């Protein structure tokens, strides 16, 4: 932890610096590829939607001495439903069996068969029917909530930062986090349940929180951009990312450790359940949110900002001043620019000089 604190001091004083913004094309390209892979996974492999979204019959066998899944498959096959049962273990002494909608006779037959197969009283086999309309209502309400959230966040960020570029970059980063999290679910095949939806909606706030912290520092560093001609907008934005990097790491660790513990308990100790469903979405979403605030949100907002004539002209002026200072030598100018970005001027912070007369 002391080394992390030492790194934070060096990053803040520019004794050390990482070129996050300088390599923005690399990071944005990598993010685009990951998003494309996630979309393809969802499109071709699909999401393992839980029974709450698809509807069907569910049986829960409790107090079993074994949690083997094969007996449940055999029972469903013997009843002659023509379906492939979805069997999962719940804890160390329960089994959950899900099928498509069954008739009353088929439901009774499956209950009796499961009781015999797992050697438990029939009263220990609970059966329920879940209609697909309930899951459809949850999906519709979740999408409505997401839409309202995006609209409100767009307005708030645009007003707070007085920059549509920052608001746009934050929203793109948010969508990136959601798509990658859903892609992870498609990849590993875990069920998507209402608890998963809650987890996905929860990471929206976390994603924006980390991005806003970085953007706030970017705004602080660039508020007097026109008053100095030592650094470009991209370099000051990169400085902001470095100055908030350790804070982002600390925030992520304090969030991921407890969520990771919940995920471990829910997945390995208690079996399938609400804990696992919500914890995976939170764990993946929090991790991706922290990474995207550094490698996606800030580099993207720099790309958008540099489309502005004022920012572009200021950048050209800074580069021209460096060329004049180095006698027009392109190689020397490039070295000087890299040294300013990396903050390697004899281990001291290169403070921007104010323009006279402004």
How far apart (Å, rounded) are the C-alpha atoms in residues 341 and 231? 8
Domain boundary among 108, 130, 152: 130
Domain for residue 195, yes or no?
yes
Asked if 80 and 201 sit in the same domain, the reply is no
Measured torsion, CA atoms of residues 166, 199, 137, 110, in degrees rounded to the nearest 10: 160
Domain for residue 351, yes or no?
no
Asked if 201 and 155 sit in the same domain, the reply is yes
Average pLDDT over residues 200-219: 85
Average pLDDT over residues 15-26: 85
User: Where residue 37 falls among pLDDT bands split at 50, 70, 90?
Assistant: very high
Instruction: Supply the pLDDT for residue 347.
Output: 40
pLDDT higher than 80, residue 56: yes
Residue with the two structure tokens 């899944």:
69
CATH number of the CATH domain containing 43: 1.20.1640.10
Asked if 229 and 303 sit in the same domain, the reply is yes
H helices within the chain, ranges in order?
Answer: 2-12, 24-40, 51-54, 70-79, 104-117, 132-161, 164-188, 194-222, 233-264, 274-292, 298-305, 309-325, 330-342
Higher confidence at residue 273 or residue 74?
A: 74
* Helix or strand holding residue 332 (H, E): helix 330-342
Domain count, the chain: 2
Domain boundary among 110, 130, 150: 130
Selection from 206, 191, 203, 204 nearest residue 274 by Cα: 191
User: Where residue 349 falls among pLDDT bands split at 50, 70, 90?
Assistant: very low
Asked if 179 and 304 sit in the same domain, the reply is yes
Overall pTM surpassing 0.85 (yes/no): no
Asked if 122 and 143 sit in the same domain, the reply is no
- Backbone φ and ψ of 95, nearest 5°: -130, 135
The distance of Cα 58 from the centroid of its chain, to the nearest Å, equals 32
Of the listed ranges 50-64, 97-111, 261-275, the one predicted with least confidence: 261-275
Bridge partner list, 271: 90
158-162, 268-272, 337-341, 351-355, range with greatest mean pLDDT: 158-162
Rg of the chain in Å (alpha carbons): 27
Asked if 191 and 120 sit in the same domain, the reply is no
Cβ 95 vs Cβ 89: under 8 Å: yes
Question: What's the CA angle centered on 65, arms 106 and 260, to 5 degrees?
Answer: 95
Asked if 262 and 150 sit in the same domain, the reply is yes
Instruction: Supply the pLDDT for residue 332.
Output: 47
Asked if 37 and 89 sit in the same domain, the reply is no
How far apart (Å, rounded) are the C-alpha atoms in residues 238 and 245? 10
Average pLDDT over residues 259-273: 68
Asked if 262 and 289 sit in the same domain, the reply is yes
Asked if 112 and 234 sit in the same domain, the reply is no
- Buried residues in 145-157 as b, exposed as e (16+ CB within 10 A): ebeeeeeebeeeb
- Backbone φ and ψ of 98, nearest 5°: -125, 135
Collapse the DSSP code of 98 into the 3-class scheme (helix H, G, I; strand E, B; otherwise coil) and give the result: strand
Cβ 278 vs Cβ 199: under 8 Å: yes
Asked if 103 and 14 sit in the same domain, the reply is no
Task: Find the domain containing 83 and state its range.
Answer: 56-130
How far apart (Å, rounded) are the C-alpha atoms in residues 277 and 196? 5
User: Where residue 12 falls among pLDDT bands split at 50, 70, 90?
Assistant: low
pLDDT in tens, 124-148: 888 888 776 776 777 788 788 888 8
- The beta-strand segments (E) located in 10-51 are none
Average pLDDT over residues 293-297: 90
Considering the chain, what is the average pLDDT of its residues?
80
CATH number of the CATH domain containing 119: 3.30.70.3400
Bridge partner list, 192: 49
Cβ 31 vs Cβ 296: under 8 Å: yes
pLDDT in tens, 79-137: 766 667 788 777 677 888 888 888 888 888 888 888 888 888 888 888 888 776 776 77
Bridge partner list, 99: 57
Asked if 113 and 237 sit in the same domain, the reply is no
Cβ 165 vs Cβ 172: under 8 Å: no
Domain for residue 151, yes or no?
yes
């Amino acid at each position: 932890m002391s080394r992390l604190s030492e790194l934070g001091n060096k990053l803040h004083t520019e004794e050390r610096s990482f070129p996050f913004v300088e390599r923005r094309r690399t990071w944005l390209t990598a993010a685009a590829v990951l998003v494309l892979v996630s979309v393809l996974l969802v499109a071709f492999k699909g999401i393992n939607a839980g029974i709450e979204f698809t509807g069907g019959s569910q049986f829960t066998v409790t107090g079993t001495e074994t949690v083997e899944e094969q007996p449940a498959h055999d029972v469903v096959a013997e009843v002659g439903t023509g379906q492939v049962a979805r069997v999962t273990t719940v804890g160390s002494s329960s089994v959950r069996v899900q099928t498509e909608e069954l008739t009353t006779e088929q439901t009774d037959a499956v209950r009796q068969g499961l009781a015999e197969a797992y050697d438990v009283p029939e009263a220990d086999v609970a059966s329920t029917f879940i209609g697909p309309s309930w899951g459809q209502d949850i999906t519709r309400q979740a999408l409505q909530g997401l839409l309202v959230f995006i609209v409100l966040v767009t307005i708030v960020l645009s007003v707070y930062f007085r920059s549509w570029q920052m608001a746009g970059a934050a929203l793109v980063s948010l969508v990136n986090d959601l798509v990658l999290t859903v892609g992870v679910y498609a990849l590993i095949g875990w069920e998507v349940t209402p608890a998963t939806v809650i987890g996905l909606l929860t990471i929206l706030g976390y994603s924006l929180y980390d991005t806003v912290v970085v953007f706030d520092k970017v705004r602080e560093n660039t508020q007097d951009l026109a008053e100095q001609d030592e650094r470009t907008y991209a370099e000051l934005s990169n400085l902001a990312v470095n100055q908030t990097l350790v804070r982002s790491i600390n925030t992520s660790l304090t969030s991921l450790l407890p969520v990771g513990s919940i995920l471990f308990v829910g997945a390995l100790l208690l079996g399938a359940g609400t804990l696992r469903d919500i914890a995976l979405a939170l764990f993946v979403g929090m991790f991706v949110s922290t990474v995207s605030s550094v490698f996606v949100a800030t580099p993207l907002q720099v790309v958008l900002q540099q489309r502005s004539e004022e920012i572009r002209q200021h950048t050209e002026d800074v580069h021209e001043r460096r060329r004049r200072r180095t006698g027009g030598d392109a190689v020397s100018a490039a070295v000087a620019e890299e040294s300013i970005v990396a903050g390697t001027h004899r281990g001291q912070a290169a403070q921007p000089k104010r323009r006279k007369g402004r």
